[in-house]
Amino acid sequence: MQWVETTGNTLEEAKEAALDQLGVAEDDAEFEVVDEPKQGLFGRTRGEARVRARVKPTSPRGKTGERRPRREKTGERREQKPRNEGRQRNNDRPAREPREPREPREKVEVDPALVGQAASEFLSGLATAFGVQSTVSVNREEDDIEVRLEGSDLGLMVGPGGATLLAIQDLTRVASQRRLGDQDTRLRIDIAGYRERRKEALSRFAHKVAAEVKETGSSRMLEPMSSADRKIVHDTLAEFEGVTTRSEGDDPRRRVVVEPA
């Protein structure tokens, strides 16, 4: 798999952009940090984050162990043989040739319209499997594709904190982008307008926390969030005077810290 290189205001934003291009979940990708933003005066950051990423290569299947020798029938006497003789036979056995590594998948040009159509068909079928009535629409701007699912009783497909929605997005990317070999488009799924409502709620919450941090002068650590939610908080407070943000911890317990600039 070829490497892709993406940038962002933060490492999380750069990684999220790389995952969008690769069309895989974070656990299925490996990253190399090329550059990180530098801390400047008054808590400001200079420069941008730059990462390289690719889909994790498939590990070759390990060799199976040798069979155990069969037990001798009762009454038969096992012939005593020197230990070194058995070892010598093993040494005489020809060694297996190592398996050749798989060739990296060639990059192919895929029409973004086909990606959107495949994602729409998969999402529609998934909604039917959930037993809900829904409609699917595809909005595309160049290589950015958003597939929206609208209908009633879609809360089960969103899940607590959007967890089910993120899992459905990963499945849809596999069923469309990876199946077609697409590596260029950025596919996003929204169900019942959850993402926009979530963004508005997080933005209001982030402004409230920032105001408290600025007034008290004390840092505030938020609850663990997904990379998409952390990006919303970072972007919302990027222009907020008097505070700065950073992420701390490892997924899925990674948190945003809001602190005085």
pLDDT single digits (tens) 215-245: 999 999 999 988 888 999 999 999 899 999 9
83, two tokens: 């230990």
Is the pTM here over 0.85, yes or no?
Answer: no
Residue percentage of the chain with pLDDT more than 70: 77
List phi, psi (to 5°) of 55.
Answer: -70, 135
Question: Prior bond to 94 cis, omega within 30?
Answer: no
Going from the C-alpha of 181 to that of each of 90, 91, 98, the distances in angstroms are 45, 45, 28
The fold for domain 197-260 equals Ribosomal Protein S8; Chain: A, domain 1 (3.30.1370)
38 and 49 Cβ atoms separated by less than 8 Å: no
149 and 134 Cβ atoms separated by less than 8 Å: yes
Helix (H) or strand (E) holding 45: strand 45-46
Q: Is the pLDDT of residue 196 over 80?
A: yes
**Domain 110-192 listed as CATH 3.30.300.20:** yes
Q: Is the pLDDT of residue 86 over 60?
A: no
Closest CA to 125 of 60, 71, 171: 171
What are 94-121's pLDDT values in tens digits?
Answer: 555 555 555 555 667 888 899 999 999 9
Of the ranges 43-52, 136-145, 192-201, 214-223, which one carries the lowest mean pLDDT score? 43-52
